[in-house]
Amino acid sequence: MQMEVKYKPRIAVDARPLAYGLTGNSRYLFEALKYLIRKDSHFEYYLYSNKEIHPMFMDFIKLNNVTVVVPMKTIPGVIWLNFVLPYYLHRDRIDMLWGTLQLLPYFKLPMPEFVNYHDLNFRSAPETMTRANFIQHKLLSPKTLRNADTVFCLSKNTKKEIAEFRPEYAKKLKVIYPGVSKKVISNNELAIEGKFLFTIGTLEPRKNISTVIEAYLDLKKEKPDFDYKLVIASRRGWGQEELTAKLLSGELEKEGIVFLENPNDNLLNLLYQKCSVFLFPSIHEGFGLPLLEAMLEQKVCIASDIPVFREILESGTDILVNPLATSEWKEAILTITNRDSIKRRRIWDEKQWTWLATASQIEESFLIEWHKRLGSSV
């Protein structure tokens, strides 16, 4: 007797974030995939990229026998998305597409389409984008929002911005927060002595690392005995060439500034665990996952006073400041480091911020659209 094999719908994932190592986009996607890709899943996942997947993600991919398609590796992303990817989706008989970088193919595909939206920077903070990226999103975002069956918004603020931009698509918008989870630390040794403040972010205008550095240096001039180092974990970006050169040269080390380029996961976890205070000075963010990671370690945070951070941080414990006001950063650092105890006043409950919850909501959206499709085809 021949057993009936249940058909699993195929979901194509725009896996380009996984080509760049550890970033906000790649962390969100990878953590979600760890719960979505499993033996009892309703779906079969295919990963598509115009570049090779970073080695740090390959063990998981190989272990789960996930199909990875990387055709025409040298082609620009926007051309790949619109002219190469649709061909392979048709060839591989894909049933649904999940766009993870805020863009879908310009022409509507004959399948349900989902897209992640981290922010609406091209409207709310265009000065923080490269010109090419700004033009791409300004021209293609309206079409993406039209083509998407469901838009995954990483915050209520992002949902609000999109609804104001295109009210006709408000019913498509669904807030799905990222999660956070404790990581296993394989080596507990940290080559940084003494107390330190910690910040993380790509060296680009939006991350605003320069303001924190300026505030820290001003504070050290006023109070030479201030005994906290400033540790910056980062990777090179754009528009910050002079600052990048200074950090790479090590000339700021004598002022107490430690620069760590492209730290691995283990080192990052140690920095969150052992820092005294976490600083997050972004001018604009779709969410702000590093804040969750710091709060998971029960660290007090000083962050930019922007709408999305008000969704995350706790008044009375954390401090929100004008992102570009050096004096406010300096005052906030002094306020927290002068406390008798630098601990969160209330234990932060991570149960409401899990990757399992994130993945479950994403999967639920896939199921809803798949059942709609089955119903319309009967």
Q: How many domains does the chain have?
A: 2
Cβ-proximal residues to 271 (8 Å cutoff; 6+ apart), any chain: 190, 198, 200, 231, 233, 260, 263
**Segment 181-235, tens digit of pLDDT:** 887 787 777 889 899 999 999 898 999 999 999 999 999 999 999 999 999 999 8
- How far from 100 is each of 230, 341, 354, CA to CA, in Å? 33, 41, 19
Strands 300-304 and 229-234: unpaired
**Same structural domain, 304 and 372:** no
Q: pTM of the predicted model, to two decimals?
A: 0.85
251 assigned to some structural domain:
yes
Cβ-proximal residues to 234 (8 Å cutoff; 6+ apart), any chain: 200, 201, 202, 203, 207, 209, 247, 259, 260, 261
Nearest to 69, CA basis, from 18, 136, 6, 7: 18
**Same structural domain, 313 and 360:** no
Instruction: Say how many Å lie between the first and final Cα of the chain, rounded.
Output: 28
| Across 20-24, 41-45, 300-304, least confident range | 20-24
4 assigned to some structural domain:
no
**Same structural domain, 248 and 319:** yes
Instruction: Kindly report the length of the chain.
Output: 378
**Same structural domain, 79 and 153:** yes
**Segment 81-120, tens digit of pLDDT:** 999 999 999 999 999 999 999 999 999 999 999 999 998 8
Residue 260 domain boundaries: 196-352
**Same structural domain, 91 and 233:** no
**Same structural domain, 319 and 358:** no
**Segment 119-141, tens digit of pLDDT:** 888 888 888 788 888 899 999 99
**Same structural domain, 229 and 164:** no
156 assigned to some structural domain:
yes
Q: What's the whole-number average pLDDT of the chain?
A: 91
**Same structural domain, 24 and 143:** yes
Residue 367 belongs to a domain with what CATH number?
A: 3.40.50.2000
187 assigned to some structural domain:
no
Residue 377 has pLDDT above 70, yes or no: no
Per the DSSP assignment, residues forming a β-bridge with 11 are: 45, 96
**Same structural domain, 155 and 224:** no
**Same structural domain, 334 and 309:** yes
**Same structural domain, 24 and 162:** yes
**Same structural domain, 204 and 347:** yes
